[in-house]
Structure 1
Amino acid sequence: MELLRGAVRPYAWGSRTTISELLGRPVPAPHPEAELWMGAHPGDPSQLIASDGTERSLLELVEADPVRQLGSQCAERWGDRLPFLLKILAADEPLSMQAHPSAEQAAEGFAREDAAGIPRDAKNRNYPDPTAKPELLCALTEFHALAGFRDPGRTVELLRAVQTPGLAPHIALLADQPDADGMRALFTTWITLPQPALDELLPELLDACVQHIKDGGEFGLECRTVLELGELHPGDAGVLAALLLNRLVLGPGEAIHLPAGNLHTYLRGTAVEILANSDNILRGGLTPKHVDVPELLRVLDFRCGDMPILRGEPCATDGLRVYRTATPEFELSRMSWPAAEFSAAHAEGNGSQSRTGPEVPIAAGTPQILLCTEGAVRVSARNRELVLRRGQSMWLAASDPSVVLRPFGSAPTQVFRATDGLAATG
């Protein structure tokens, strides 16, 4: 049980305030900070901070002794690789539109690109590794996203509400076949339009969206999103594709699970994200980066419908909710305690007042990362104890003893726990 120092990733779409404020650093940051990584990703592994202040790479520690760090079951499944990566994601601007492959698609694509001699760090490489990349995102603030293809009937209503002369012929592709095949036909048509056709169609669409908003139409949120994306990415086919996806607004604690083939983009907000430890991304637009349309179409899942919102399943332990999925690489759970009055007793040895509230036991035997996003918690194991404060994270190796979490101080407290999903998925 040791504190972690995560790695800050400075992507252009990030925030100059969110992550710096969380970590207690000067605000604003000198450049956008998009993600805080906690894990053993080879590109930017976290550092373990010993009690004497020395640091060790979590990646090197896992690779040196995977059974002790990951547990025998996890090491047998994934070797010396921690299967999940935990992040804080802080988006001030939309990310690229993207999807991720299944395990089978990733393994086949990786082998194919290796055989073709494409360097693994090449900009046109789709599969830098042979593994799947499912994701789960849980909102910390109001979080806006596009994810999954909307119900075809509802999408036809939206398209007719913003219909233009150029758009009208395309609507029939979905109206005449309101299912996954019709959605595939329409999306394929749009993503492969020649640039001159896009340059003619998109201005018409943006004008129609402006008029729809002025008229107080029912698709105002969707139209505002199209206008925002059109301004940031003029002439991009992803602006059209945004009309086909579920427009989501998540409240704090609400989550979405993005399995293989789910087309999505995050628009803005702050969230905790857990994902498989992979870099495989198939982009579909809203980016200057490489877009491989045939490969994207090969991995996309065109099944349509509402995107399920996860709120976490309550457990026997008060304040603990688990976001269950069928993903073996990870499981995310959330522990929360409301604001509380101090008890009269004082915590031994530090002069602080102790707090009443339910204890949350955390069993040993799996690799785990604890992340505190609000307040502070006392983490106790046998004769050792650490206080995990807002913005701090902690590594629990599989060989570490079980721990107990207790709220520390009177503020509302929230802690996320990341581990593998083998116990839940069998």
Structure 2
Amino acid sequence: MALAHLDNTVQRYDWGGLEAIQDLVGLPSDGSPAAELWLGAHPSAPSRLAGGTSLADVVAADPDAVLGRRVADRFGPRLPYLLKVLAARRALSLQVHPRPHAARAGFQRENRAGLSLDAADRSFHDEQHKPEMLVALTPFEGLAGFRSPRAVLTLLDGLDGKLVEQVREALGRARSAVGLRAALEVLVAARGSAWCAADVEATVAGVRARAGASPSQRADATVLQLAEQHPGDPGALVSLLLNRVSLEPGEAMFVPAGEVHAYLSGLGVEIMASSDNVLRAGLTTKHVDADALVECAAFAPRPPVRPDAEVVGTHSLVTTYRAPVEEFALTTFDLDPAEPAALAPDGPRIVLALDGAAQVRTEAGSIDLARGESCLVPHAAGATTVAGDGHLVCAWVP
């Protein structure tokens, strides 16, 4: 089976950037957002090969050739990962991705309820969990995982409001994961209440007023940013419960299933288990399922997870990022013409050119990639190298 160019879907979510993905793939910058570029075989937006054939259909027709027996035996006749380029101009929703058992149960429950797969009020779009890893291409900002209760109480000191007081009470009863769960439940349950927006705005005014004496200027700036983007949404106050994350280009973060998080701004390459299951609790105009989010969330306080990264190369710089999951790994290539580099030796590989130009080479042939172009390297292609002066990213199965 030969190398094949891919045609990929651009998702136009309202939080998306106005230039980054457009520039990458050659779309006009007409003022409409482009949030994500999807490369993979997820049924809701599969990549397509020449002639319009879905990558999902190609995998199903010959899983041994595309995936290889090792991957097909482990995951069945499906591509286990989904690669994305993500461009956030404003904050994404406050969200959690379910663990495997919760994804299966939720998907079957909504099927029995008669919800179509594209229903606006559907939370579970497939049976898969969705751990994910993001590698920053520009400075990237986010929220991920819970702060310690003590740190949260410090940030709340001096702030007024009914919700803030209820959060203090919850953490006062239990300075543990139990208290953090109760605090989150207080905040997400208030969404839509007649008094909620005014109460949130009163607390936000207190955050604004303490600018010179804040226990954390960055945490307060996040509250103000989210309150401006989503006025009256208690998700702005949820940010005080969560760790603030800043990534420089080349740095990465791993978000396991069950971790409450929200990406705030920046451009990155994201890889995940092939799923579109997102449980939202705020900071969005999309369907909110706060009960499902709370049930699926992990509340133990811990710092954000930084995946392992291995760097090799003399002239070319090859960086491989590994997370503690079976479905995916990611390698970036900053190529020098003097030193070709090898891809992972087997399994399904997807290569995307982020900049410059490169050639993907196998014993049977080669394919040229310009900026924004991508290709499938099937298992049957065997040993594969990349050469040129491009900046590439390759998704693969460890």
Q: TM-score w.r.t. structure 1 length? A: 0.86
Structure 2 unaligned runs (5+)? none
Structure 1 residues 330 and 164, CA gap change in structure 2 (3 angstroms): same
- What's the RMSD between the two structures over aligned residues? 2.1
Please give the secondary structure, in 2, of the residue aligned with 1:405.
strand
**In the alignment, does 2:218 pair up with 1:221?**
yes
Q: 1:31 to 1:56 in 2, by over 3 A?
A: same
Structure 2: which amino acid aligns with 1:415? Answer: L
- CA drift at 1:67: 1.5
Structure 1 counterpart of 2:374:
393
Q: Distance in 2 between matches of 1:288 and 1:416?
A: 32
By how many angstroms is 1:38 displaced? 0.9
Matched with 2:395 is 418
Match of 1:345? none
SS across alignment from 2:394: strand
Give the Cα separation in 1 of the matches to 2:253 and 2:185: 25
- Cα distance in 1 for partners of 2:254, 2:11 equals 23
What is the CA–CA distance in structure 2 between the aligned matches of 1:25 and 1:186, rounded to whole Å? 44
- In 1, distance between residues paired with 2:252 and 2:128? 23
- SS at structure 2 position matched to 1:201: helix
Question: How far 1:389 moved relative to its partner?
Answer: 2.3
Q: For this pair of structures, how many residues does the alignment match?
A: 393
1:41 alignment partner in structure 2:
42
Q: Which segment drifts farther, 112-121 or 17-26? A: 112-121
- 2:284 is the counterpart of 1:287: yes
Distance (Å, rounded) in 1 between the aligned partners of 2:9 and 2:114: 31
Q: Assess if the C-alpha contact under 8 Å between 1:110 and 1:130 holds in 2.
A: yes
Which of residues 92, 99, 107 in structure 2 aligns to 1:95? 92
Q: Deviations over 1:147-178 (max 9, x none)?
A: 11112222221111x52254345324224532
Contact kept in structure 1, 2:357 and 2:369, CA below 8 Å: yes
- Aligned counterparts of 1:25 and 1:170: Cα–Cα separation in 2: 46
In the aligned structure 1, how far is the partner of 2:261 from the partner of 2:303?
13
CA distance in 1, matches of 2:364, 2:122: 50
Describe the superposition over 1:243-262 as per-residue Cα deviations: whole angstroms up to 9, x where unpaired: 11111111111111111111
Partner of 1:417, secondary structure, is: strand
Q: Which amino acid aligns with 2:21?
A: I
The whole-number CA distance in structure 2 between the counterparts of 1:295 and 1:308 is 23
Which has the higher mean CA deviation after the structures are superposed, 163-172 or 31-40? 163-172
Tell me the alpha carbon deviations over residues 184-208 of structure 1, each in whole angstroms, 9 at most, x when there is no partner.
1111122212623423421221111
Distance between the aligned counterparts of 2:41 and 2:359, measured in 1? 24
Structure 1 counterpart of 2:174: 177
Q: Is the 8 A contact 1:83 1:276 kept in 2?
A: yes
Amino acid of the residue matched to residue 85 of structure 2? I
2:342 is paired with a residue whose SS is strand
1:16 corresponding residue in structure 2: 18
SS of 2:17's partner is coil
Q: Matched residues in 2 for 1:142 and 1:93: separation?
A: 14
| Shift of residue 79, structure 1, vs aligned partner | 2.6
Partner of 1:128: 125
Equivalent position of 2:6 in the other structure: 4
Higher relative contact order (CA 8 A, sep 6+): 2
Query: Structure 2: how far apart are the matches of 1:18 and 1:208?
Result: 36
What is the deviation of 1:365?
2.5
Matches of 2:107 and 2:52 in 1, distance apart?
A: 34
Q: Is this contact kept in 1: 2:159–2:207, CA < 8 A?
A: no
Give the distance between the partners of 2:9 and 2:140, measured in 1 at CA: 22
Aligned pairs (5 A) from 1:354-369: 355-356=337-338, 358-369=339-350
2:323 pairs with 1:321: no
Amino acid across the alignment from 1:10: R
Instruction: Tell me the CA shift for residue 7 of structure 1.
Output: 1.2
On the 8 A contact 2:18/2:31 being kept in 1, the answer is yes
The one-letter amino acid of 2:370's match is: R
**SS of 1:29 mapped into structure 2:** coil
Question: Following the alignment from structure 1 to structure 2, what is the Cα–Cα distance between the partners of residues 315 and 47?
Answer: 32
Question: Secondary structure of the equivalent of 2:379?
Answer: coil
Alpha-carbon contact 1:89-1:270 (below 8 Å) kept: yes
1:35-69 CA distance string (max 9 Å, x none): 111111212221224xxxx5533222112111211
Q: Structure 2 length as normaliser, TM-score? A: 0.92
Residue in 1 aligned with 2:331? 333
1:130 shift after superposition: 1.2
Partners of 2:165 and 2:95 in 1: how far apart? 26
Q: Unaligned stretches of 5+ in structure 1?
A: 341-354
Residue of structure 1 aligned with 2:240, choices 238, 243, 246: 243
- Which stretch of the first structure deviates more once superposed, 195-204 or 293-302? 195-204
CA distance in 1, matches of 2:91, 2:206: 22
* 8 Å CA contact 2:161, 2:203 repeated in 1: no
- 1:76-123 Cα shifts (integer Å, max 9, x gaps): 233322111111111111111110111111112222233333333332
